[in-house]
Amino acid sequence: MNPVLVLFSSMSTGSETDIPDSAAGSAADPTPDSTDGVLAEQLLRLTRRLHRIQKRHMEPLGITPAQGRLLRLVAHYGGDRPPRMADLATRLEVVPRAVTTLVDGLEAAGCVRRAPDPANRRVIRIELTETGRATLRRLRSARTDAAEEILAPLTAPQREVLGGLLNALADAPAQGGC
């Protein structure tokens, strides 16, 4: 469906801030910490930068990155079947308590509305407001700008490959837990 043929030549140019793993003092360390560990490190470092960039781009919107993600998620459900708090928590892979805080923020910003479910009075459904829809439109370009800033060093096919790899990783079931 979407085959991408890519030739990477000498990609591993060695990051300036890379930390070689065999520098713990003992020179004769037989465990060179497979590149996987380094890879995880790169991922985390990159994300710190992405977070900073995203935060900066979203500041004029009056919402935080996490609130933005939640807002997009709410919009995804559509007006006829607004999500419950529990739905949002599951999709965001966080505990329900975390969603409460995020919705509080979005409600304060006028982007969403808490609507009690008449069928089950324990349930609260999160509805998008008109303000929320406007914010969402601005959010989209902010997000694109932030992504463009961080992805600048990559060509289009490289981005496509990266997307595929991240997809494969993100789709994997949360294993190893309990």
Tell which positions 82-111 bind DNA, by CB under 7 A: 84-86, 92-103, 105
**Going by C-beta distance under 8 Å and a sequence separation of 6 or more, which residues neighbour residue 112?**
71, 74, 103, 106, 126, 127, 128, 129, 132
Residue 103 in the binding site for a second copy (CB under 8 A): no
Q: Which of residues 118-177 bind DNA (CB under 7 A)?
A: 120-125
Interface pick for DNA out of 38, 53, 64, 110 (rule CB under 7 A): 64
DSSP 118-142: SS-TT-EEEEE-HHHHHHHHHHHHH
At its nearest, how many Å lie between DNA and the CB of residue 5?
35
Q: Taking each helix axis as running N to C, give the angle between helix 65-77 and helix 130-151, from 0 to 180 degrees, rounded to the nearest 10.
A: 120
In the block, residue with structure tokens 């289009």: 156
At its nearest, how many Å lie between DNA and the CB of residue 93?
7
Please give the Cα distance from 106 to 46 (Å, whole number).
27
In the block, residue with structure tokens 């079947």: 81
Indicate which of a second copy, DNA, none lies near residue 99 (CB less than 5 to 8 Å, by partner kind). Answer: DNA
Interface pick for DNA out of 19, 48, 153, 173 (rule CB under 7 A): 48
Q: Which residues bind DNA (CB under 7 A)?
A: 48, 52, 55, 64-67, 84-86, 92-103, 105, 114, 120-125
